[in-house]
Amino acid sequence: MILMEMPEDGVWWLNYSQYEDLRLYEIGIQRCAPSYSFGPIIRDRYILHYVFEGEGVLRIDDKEFKVKSNSFFLLPPDVLVQYQADEKKPWQYAWIHFHGFKSTEIVRSIGMTRKEPVYVPIEENSQLKDAVINLIMYKENEYACIGYMYILFDKMNRWTRHVEKKAGTNLRTMNYMREAIQYINTKYCESIMVQQIADHCGVDRAYLSKIFKYATGKTLQEYLIQFRIKRAKQLLKDTDLSVKYVSYSVGYNDPFTFSKVFKKQEGVSPSVWRKNHNNYT
């Protein structure tokens, strides 16, 4: 897959409808203003959004879903929906309008439903992002555009089937995992524990830990630590926050504990890592 730079904002009407199985009608990308809101509205086709950065809220059936970067959210047809950018971290997203005879089957294959309209990869997946970007870059080429849409769905489906195969999961179990990941991605900056994650998901801690380990090869605690350290490296690299305040920002109340965990993960202390990678000027 070809890596492309981030396209500029815009909306393009495609009307690629000669293929009955999957038809594309519109594609766009937008960097939203703080608190920008769209809807409530009902559409007659599926609309898939990919969030490049920032965060926001999706509302369906009086239920609210928080959506963060590197995640997808789906607007089903004939359903009242509304979504809004965060006030402090407004999102930038791309969207694709699609329908067709196999559209419902495709959506089900990637585990997205009206009740579970958010798709959160276990790890940041550049292939998903690249597929979305290429969809936009090749928007004037019908064959390429349709092809990249299938590539995107294939990548999402492969992850879904991988989880099902590894953990023997049904849809409900997959939803537990996605909800756990979403919770960690949102609450990592707080002093959360594995039990809190399980309580949030409404499932037994041992059961959640078991299916998560089987599916990802990581324990919930390992995933939480790795996510925190990843975010800490971003802060060390791109800001002048002290190590103490970086530790606070990623959920560690004790900077010494943070430094110990960081060195175990990265092989060097936060201060040394910053000297080798700092971009802040």
CA distance 184 to 213: 15
**pLDDT, tens digit (0-9, with 9 covering 90-100), for 14-39:** 888 877 889 999 999 999 999 999 98
Q: Is 80 exceeded by the pLDDT of residue 5?
A: no
Position 85 scores a pLDDT of 96
Q: Is 60 exceeded by the pLDDT of residue 41?
A: yes
CA distance 165 to 169: 7
What are residue 168's phi and psi, to 5 degrees? 60, 40
Position 203 scores a pLDDT of 84
Helix/strand/coil percentages in the chain, nearest 5: 45, 20, 35
Position 170 scores a pLDDT of 56
Position 57 scores a pLDDT of 95
Q: Is 50 exceeded by the pLDDT of residue 3?
A: no
pLDDT band at 2 (very low <50, low <70, confident <90, very high): very low
- Greatest Cα-to-Cα distance within the chain, rounded to the nearest angstrom: 61
Q: Is 70 exceeded by the pLDDT of residue 167?
A: no
Phi-psi region of 154 (alpha: psi -120 to 50; beta: other; left: phi over 0): alpha
**pLDDT, tens digit (0-9, with 9 covering 90-100), for 229-273:** 999 998 998 888 999 999 999 999 999 999 999 999 999 999 999
Contact 70, 9 (CB under 8 A): no
Contact 68, 92 (CB under 8 A): no
Position 252 scores a pLDDT of 93
**pLDDT, tens digit (0-9, with 9 covering 90-100), for 64-78:** 888 988 889 999 999
Could you give all domains of the chain from N- to C-terminal order, each with its CATH number? 10-167 (2.60.120.280), 168-281 (1.10.10.60)
Does the predicted model carry a pTM greater than 0.85?
A: no
